[in-house]
Structure 1
Amino acid sequence: MIKEFDYKELEEATQGFSPTHLIGKGSHGLVYKGALQDGKLVAIKKPSPGLQILRDNTKIDNEISMLSSLPQNPNIISFLGTSHDSAMNKVLVMELMPNGSLHDLLHVSTMPPTWPQRLEMAMQIARAVQFLHEEKPLVVHRDIKSANILFDSEWNAKLADFGLAVRKNENIDHSRVDSLSQPAGTIGYLDPCYTTPSKLSTKNDVFSFGVVLLEVLSTSKVIDLSRTRTHIVEWAIPLIKKDRIKEVCDSRIELPMCMEGTIRHILRVAARCVSSREDLRPSMQQIIIDIDKHRAIDRVRVPIWSSLLESVVLIRRGRRSASRFRGAN
């Protein structure tokens, strides 16, 4: 059963939905940080002003339906309940993600994540999408992008914003015409193959995930007008094919030699995800197996190198000690 929050409590929690409490803004909704009467911090999502005027709750109703029907998952934002104002505009209450979005971490923060952190993020995002694709009936998120990936207090990545998500039933009615049946997503992340309702598939999400993967490893904007090839796929894929991986990778931090092979392989995974041929795109399960296999190689390789370096240091220290001993005699 969905918990119904007292709207007045939510107003008090956000000081009347004050702009000072606004932590997120999109075309479909506004997200506010609030402190409930018991002290619990939450995120409260309202429809955007335009949708409120139209009394259009389609997206937020869809998000409530999706999140309330999904089992708890560590890589999906937690749904806490709903409420509504006097005009019957719906409000969605979710767990607060205090460390912001992946988009801000990559493009606003001055502290770039380390390479191991990027691989962990990629795995967490991939697990979230795999979880949706393995639901019965399966769920296609349709709006996977860095702005919809949020971090909790422990810097775990979670997938959010289910306003466009749809369950793909085998008997889906492709003749239905409404905002949720038509192709939708965000420019730059939207699969170019997804042109009609009948083209809806998990491969649409795989394409978007591939774009995010390129974004995570390069910290390049998805659409960059300063480049000749403005879209990240058009820019990165030719470089990956020519094995010029360092030109794709974030230049602010050095790529360790021991991780070059893994990053090269994961860039090739990203290239398969964004293939113009849907049949060549891997499933999320295949992606996770691929990434995890190469992360495991790194976990083995690093201790080996650490042991070798430690041995060299000890040998050199031993030689210096022996030399000093001989000198003293």
Structure 2
Amino acid sequence: MEEFEYSKLQVATNDFSLSALIGKGSHGCVYKGVLGDGKLVAIKKQSIGLQILQDNSKLDNEIQVLSSLHRSPYFVNLVGVSHDGSTQKKLLVIEFMPNGSLHDLLHNMSTPPSWSKRLHVALQIARAVQTLHEARPSIIHRDIKSANIMLDCNWNAKLADFGLAVRQSESTQPVNPPCRPAGTIGYLDPCYTTPSKLSTRTDVFSFGVVVLEIISCRRAMEVGQEPASIVEWAVPLINGKRGGIDVCDTRIALPGNMEGTIRCILNVAARCVSSKEENRPLMAEIVTELESCMVRPIQYPVWQCLLRSVLTRRKKRKTIPTTTIIHPTHQADIHVDHSRGKLLVREVLAEVAFN
């Protein structure tokens, strides 16, 4: 971790000018900084109120948490810190994310993200939270929300803002128990009512809300809507006859070959936001289920005729094995065992080329 001179970070941000401001929250502001070597970084500064109180607890906590973790492609990683000894002001230097937040992508962009990008982001967030929960000791983020998920130059999602994170001991109790529950309304687990109720499943609930937000592009709390909570609105639709299709963002068409995938992911999200904490899956299970959703129920309309043609010819030659790796669940669907899927595709191409 690099130690930066406070004055050099002032220069890098043009003395924390409004033109350099890229983010603002209840605990402080984030500025875009250009270091002397031209490297772009993000610089987090405490709010005026916390500076007056000389309260660096949120930044100190973020430094401790990020320092305890290995650099990860799923986090906005720590670059360094700076401390002004005369004023006790502290700055946090982190990776710069040029494409803003997931919240901006979903709610402030004129062009909605594609379905494949949404699914990719959901899986990356799940892996980030899984990494935290499987750390030793495990770490509970406590403020998972779309505004704390940043997008790098390749539009990969990274989890940010660890100021409220809590580390647990081997007994699953917090090492330094927080004095009160914390988080963001709309994403906050309703079961987390006292410090003793904090667990990794607190993050699972928040993650489920983010997934619902990704699929629907509806905010976690929509003032003026009934119900205002995305959870109360989405879960009955997911459990309804149409299996959650009505939850999907209507600004972009949902291809028929992705309906099964989206339903599967919405079912995972519904389990995450269950009012019964014990019914929520662990993050490792969630990652496995999301991966399965994305690779198993994929339709192949382009290949469908080719596959059936090849299989028909094989049957006529009596060369098709008794156990096939094609399992149609609906007349229009074909499911592939991906452990041997590449081999099948090569065989289909060979059959097409030479017949």
Tell me the TM-score normalised to structure 1 length. 0.89
Contact kept, 8 Å, 1:98 with 1:152, in 2: the verdict is yes
| C-alpha distance after superposition, 1:102-160 (max 9, x if no partner) | 00100100111111111100000000000000001100000000000000001010000
Contact kept, 8 Å, 1:174 with 1:181, in 2: the verdict is no
Q: Name the CA distance, whole Å, in 2 between partners of 1:35 and 1:71.
A: 25
Q: Name the CA distance, whole Å, in 1 between partners of 2:165 and 2:96.
A: 21
Q: Name the CA distance, whole Å, in 1 between partners of 2:174 and 2:102.
A: 34
Give the letter for the 1:213 counterpart: V
**Corresponding residue for residue 46 of structure 1:** 45
**Corresponding residue for residue 162 of structure 2:** 162
**Corresponding residue for residue 124 of structure 2:** 124
**Corresponding residue for residue 315 of structure 2:** none
Contact kept, 8 Å, 2:166 with 2:176, in 1: the verdict is no
Choose from 219, 224, 227 the match for 1:226: 224
Contact kept, 8 Å, 2:204 with 2:272, in 1: the verdict is yes
Aligned length in residues = 306
Q: Is the partner of 1:169 in helix, strand or coil?
A: coil
Q: Is the partner of 1:24 in helix, strand or coil?
A: strand
Runs (5+) with no aligned partner, structure 1: 312-329
| C-alpha distance after superposition, 1:49-73 (max 9, x if no partner) | 1111111101111001111111111
Q: Name the CA distance, whole Å, in 2 between partners of 1:92 and 1:155.
A: 23
Relative to 1, partners in 2 of residues 1:119 and 1:59: Cα closer, same or farther, differing over 3 Å? same
The answer as to 2:302 corresponding to 1:306 is yes
Runs (5+) with no aligned partner, structure 2: 308-355
Give the letter for the 1:202 counterpart: T
Contact kept, 8 Å, 2:125 with 2:158, in 1: the verdict is yes
Contact kept, 8 Å, 2:128 with 2:159, in 1: the verdict is yes
Q: Name the CA distance, whole Å, in 1 between partners of 2:245 and 2:12.
A: 47
Q: Which has the higher helix share?
A: 1
Q: Name the CA distance, whole Å, in 1 between partners of 2:13 and 2:277.
A: 45
Q: Name the CA distance, whole Å, in 2 between partners of 1:138 and 1:185.
A: 18
Q: Is the partner of 1:37 in helix, strand or coil?
A: coil
**Corresponding residue for residue 288 of structure 1:** 287
| C-alpha distance after superposition, 1:269-311 (max 9, x if no partner) | 100000010110001111111111121125x53xx32234799
| Root-mean-square deviation (Å) | 1.9
Give the letter for the 1:94 counterpart: I
Relative to 1, partners in 2 of residues 1:287 and 1:68: Cα closer, same or farther, differing over 3 Å? same
Tell me the TM-score normalised to structure 2 length. 0.83
**Corresponding residue for residue 343 of structure 2:** none
Contact kept, 8 Å, 2:167 with 2:175, in 1: the verdict is no
Contact kept, 8 Å, 1:126 with 1:288, in 2: the verdict is yes
**Corresponding residue for residue 72 of structure 2:** 73
Give the letter for the 1:149 counterpart: I
Q: Name the CA distance, whole Å, in 2 between partners of 1:147 and 1:250.
A: 19
Q: Name the CA distance, whole Å, in 2 between partners of 1:51 and 1:309.
A: 65
Contact kept, 8 Å, 1:79 with 1:93, in 2: the verdict is yes
Relative to 1, partners in 2 of residues 1:5 and 1:254: Cα closer, same or farther, differing over 3 Å? same
